[in-house]
């Protein structure tokens, strides 16, 4: 979990986070990876538009508006992608990129800038950026570049995940158990895929929140329990050979051993 100074806590006692519409998003998976994204941008209108667009696609998005703050965020969460502006207070995007790479992080970085000069693009790429997008940009192009960077991360992974009689196809979003199709939301698929890639591994609820949701979910949120319950209903459906297990005091896992004895 990140330092308390980086986490927004609810004051009203709500248990499922600050944006109920986003939490209960019911988009059906369409074969695009769910990413944990940090947007580093000091123009509020731009950061808000990017966050809205990416959240609508099912991604978990945090926003920082300062270079030093961005470095602290990146060190605290397992981000899948950074969208990084060049002109920032505190430390510019080139400096942020360089520090992150010096620390050994390989997180993909997409740089945003109004500096449409060849040397600026060369500098960004030399500092460790993976892609470059010049302002003003179309949101459709930004989302296409995000998808392209996500595809690079999934190269080399098996096309289909199989655990017992459960099958997941990350490329198409198809889920079947015993040959019967199961329809999942974006976040449900992301959680089940994480379990299926590591059968038997116990995931603490804080680890699941850090991986799959925005930083503005407080530690007291019950969102993980809600999604685990939904997955059990859809995947296990009251079967004796339930795959999704609770490890009391530790977290949740996908059963790795064989079916329970009769």
Three-class SS of 173-224: CEEEECCEECCCEHHHHHHHHHHHHCCCCCECHHHHHHHHCCCCCCCCCCHH
At a CB cut-off of 8 Å and minimum separation 6, what does 84 contact?
Answer: 40, 70, 93, 96, 97, 109, 110, 111, 112, 129
pLDDT band at residue 241 using 50, 70 and 90 as cut-offs? confident
Q: What is the pLDDT of residues 111-152, one digit of tens each?
A: 998 877 778 888 888 888 999 998 899 999 999 999 888 877
Q: What is the mean pLDDT of residues 57-71?
A: 92
CA distance linking residue 62 with residue 15, whole number of Å: 19
Average pLDDT over residues 240-246: 88
Instruction: Identify the pLDDT of residue 219.
Output: 63
Q: What is the pLDDT of residues 183-239, one digit of tens each?
A: 998 889 889 988 998 899 999 988 888 888 877 766 667 889 999 999 999 999 878
Regarding the domain with residue range 18-154, which homologous superfamily does it belong to in the CATH classification?
A: Response regulator (3.40.50.2300)
| C-alpha to C-alpha distances, 230 to 15, 28, 104, 183, 187, nearest whole angstrom | 16, 14, 37, 11, 11
Query: What integer pLDDT is reported at residue 197 of this predicted model?
Result: 86
Contact in structure between 67 and 91 (CB atoms under 8 Å)? yes
For residue 164, give both structure tokens. 């017992």
Region of poorest pLDDT, from 10-19, 69-78, 177-186, 197-206: 10-19
The first and second tokens of residue 74, run together, are: 């990146």
- DSSP state, residue 155: T
92: left (phi over 0), alpha (psi -120 to 50) or beta: beta
- Which segments of the chain belong to CATH 3.40.50.2300? 18-154
Average pLDDT over all residues of the chain? 81
Q: Please state, in angstroms and rounded to a whole number, the distance separating the CA atoms of residues 250 and 28.
A: 30
- The boundaries of every CATH 1.10.10.10 domain in the chain are 161-254
The top-level CATH class assigned to 161-254 is mainly alpha
* DSSP-derived pairing of the beta strands 36-40 and 60-64: parallel
For 144-174, write each residue's pLDDT tens digit.
Answer: 999 888 877 665 556 788 899 999 987 778 8
pLDDT of residue 23: 32
């Amino acid at each position: 979990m990140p330092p308390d100074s980086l986490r927004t806590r609810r004051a009203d006692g709500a248990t499922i986070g600050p944006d109920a519409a986003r939490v209960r998003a019911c988009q059906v998976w369409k074969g695009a990876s769910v990413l944990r994204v940090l947007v580093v941008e000091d123009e509020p209108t731009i950061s808000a538009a990017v966050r809205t667009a990416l959240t609508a696609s099912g991604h978990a998005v945090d926003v920082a508006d300062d270079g030093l703050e961005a470095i602290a965020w990146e060190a605290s969460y397992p981000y899948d992608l950074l969208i990084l502006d060049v002109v920032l207070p505190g430390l510019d995007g080139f400096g942020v990129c360089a520090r992150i790479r010096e620390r050994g992080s390989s997180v993909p970085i997409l740089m945003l800038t109004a500096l449409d000069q060849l040397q600026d693009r060369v500098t960004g790429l030399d500092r460790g950026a993976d892609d470059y997008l010049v302002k003003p940009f179309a949101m459709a192009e930004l989302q296409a570049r995000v998808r392209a960077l996500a595809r690079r991360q999934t190269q080399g992974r098996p096309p289909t995940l199989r655990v017992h009689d459960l099958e997941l196809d990350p490329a198409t979003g198809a889920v079947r158990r015993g040959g019967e199709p199961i329809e999942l939301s974006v976040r449900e698929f992301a959680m089940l895929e994480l379990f299926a890639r590591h059968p038997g591994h116990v995931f603490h609820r804080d680890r699941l929140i850090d991986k799959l949701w925005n930083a503005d979910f407080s530690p007291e949120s019950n969102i993980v329990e809600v999604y685990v319950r939904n997955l059990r209903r859809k995947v296990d459906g009251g079967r004796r050979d339930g795959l999704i297990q609770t490890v009391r005091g530790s977290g949740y896992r996908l059963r790795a051993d064989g079916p329970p004895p009769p």
